[in-house]
């Protein structure tokens, strides 16, 4: 039994239905999400997965996404989280993938100290694999350890979390895969192509 609660937080489609093209976006993104879901639900360790979804999301999409009792659909984006005791909150985009052992490595790195735990990752675009070359623990995959959980891993942009917390990597080897694609313009290749 862990002496902490671990919650993975994913923003799925909040505000999507405020603009045109929502259905096309959902059709494009859902196959990526299926890979994300499979990669998370196959992980070792106890955790909950909170997915932030627009309340106007059609039921057919809700039924496809809500497939496991560890998944909790919520209608807001949690920047704060109240809990008695230690909590790990972990960022996970709805189109990225955990490699085997990712959750275990995060949980094994837990200490009773408010801090960031990060994992290294690969990037993939058009079937080609790249390193991520991020030397500081400030990636989009980071986790935040808090006591009482006044803040979550989304308290600030991930690249600025080290301004408030110390951080460390959970392992030296990459444990996640960032998908870079045409509808994910915020991400760009930052590393070297792996031959």
The tens place of each residue's pLDDT in the chain, 195 residues long, gives 679 999 999 999 999 999 999 999 999 999 999 999 999 999 999 999 999 999 999 999 999 999 999 999 999 887 777 778 899 999 999 999 999 999 999 999 999 999 999 999 998 877 788 877 778 899 999 999 999 767 899 988 999 999 999 999 999 999 999 988 665 545 555 656 775
Q: Domain-by-domain residue ranges, the chain?
A: 4-179
Q: In what order do the strands lie in the sheet with 122-125?
A: 97-98, 176-179, 122-125, 128-131
Q: Which of 87, 92, 117, 2 is nearest to 39 (CA)?
A: 92
Q: Around Cβ 168, how many Cβ atoms within 10 Å?
A: 11
Contact indicator for 137, 166 with CB cutoff of 8 Å: no
Question: Residue 10's pLDDT is what?
Answer: 96
Measured distance CA(41)–CA(70) in Å, rounded: 8
Residue 149: the pLDDT is 64
Query: What CATH number is given for 4-179 in this structure?
Result: 3.90.550.10
Are 75 and 50 within 8 A, CB to CB? no
Please tell me the number of Cα atoms within 13 Å of 85 on its side-chain side.
6
CA angle 182, 73, 22 (to 5 degrees): 35
Three-class secondary structure of residue 8 per DSSP: strand
Only one residue has tokens 């790990």, namely: 88
Token pair 């009773």 in the structure block, residue: 112
Q: How far is CA 108 from CA 4, 12, 102, 148, 181, in A?
A: 11, 27, 10, 20, 32
Tally of CB atoms within 10 A around 110: 18
């Amino acid at each position: 039994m862990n002496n902490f609660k671990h919650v993975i937080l994913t923003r799925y489609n909040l505000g999507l239905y405020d603009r045109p093209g929502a259905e096309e976006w959902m059709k494009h993104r859902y196959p990526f999400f299926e890979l994300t879901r499979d990669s998370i639900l196959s992980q070792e360790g106890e955790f909950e997965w909170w997915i932030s979804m627009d309340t106007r999301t059609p039921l057919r999409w809700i039924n496809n996404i809500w497939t496991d009792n560890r998944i909790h659909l919520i209608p807001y984006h949690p920047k704060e989280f109240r809990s008695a005791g230690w909590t790990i909150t972990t960022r996970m985009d709805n189109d990225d993938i955990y490699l085997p052992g990712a959750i275990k490595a995060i949980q094994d790195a837990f200490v009773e100290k408010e801090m960031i735990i990060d994992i290294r990752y690969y990037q993939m675009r058009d079937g080609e694999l790249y390193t991520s070359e991020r030397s500081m623990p400030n990636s989009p995959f980071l986790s935040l350890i808090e006591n009482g959980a006044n803040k979550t891993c989304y308290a600030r942009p991930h690249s600025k979390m080290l301004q408030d917390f110390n951080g460390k990597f959970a392992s030296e080897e990459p444990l996640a895969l960032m998908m870079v694609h045409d509808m994910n313009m915020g991400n760009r290749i930052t590393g070297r192509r792996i031959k």
